[in-house]
Amino acid sequence: MCLAIPGRVESVEYPFAIVDFSGTKKRVRIDLVDDVKPGEYVLVHVGFAIQKVDEEEAKKIEEMLAEILIE
């Protein structure tokens, strides 16, 4: 139930957007998240974008993992 899947925003037609989940496209509501733009990643839960995925932060966690290896 709390499962949320990240997808890439293809196009926006407020309050909806077409989101691409590795090839599968779905129409989702985006009015819970501010200022959604094509190209951004959003987390989608039961047909709703609940938050943007912050790509900078996603990179940081990868770096952290890489650091663990050299620590």
Partner 1 sequence: MISLEKVKAGIKELSAKIKKEMESEEEIRIMHLCGTHEDTITRYNLRSLLPENLKLLSGPGCPVCIIPDVDLQMVFHLIQNANIILTTFGDMARVPFEGKSLFYYKSKGCDIRIVYSVFEAVEIAKQSDKPVVHFGIGFETTMPSTALAILDGVENFHVFSSHRFFIPAMEHLLSLGEAKIDGFINPGHVSTIVGVKAYEPIKERYGVPQIIAGFEPYDVMLAVYHLVKAIRNEEKALLNEYTRAVKYEGNVKAQQVMDEVFDRQDWEWRGLGVVPASGGAIRKKYEDYDAMKAFEDVFKDFEPKEDARKKVCRCGEVLRGLITPSGCPLFMKACTPKDPIGPCMVSFEGTCNIWAKYGGYRI
Can you give the binding site for partner 1, defined by CB under 8 A?
1-4, 29, 31-34, 43, 45-48, 50-55, 57-58, 60-62, 64-66, 68-69
- Kindly state the smallest distance separating residue 46's Cβ from partner 1, in Å: 5
The span from the CA of 23 to the CA of 61, in Å, is 25
**Nearer CB in complex with partner 1: 15/38:** 15
**Nearer CB in complex with partner 1: 23/68:** 68
Residue 65 DSSP class: H
Which ranges in the chain belong to alpha helices (H)? Answer: 55-70
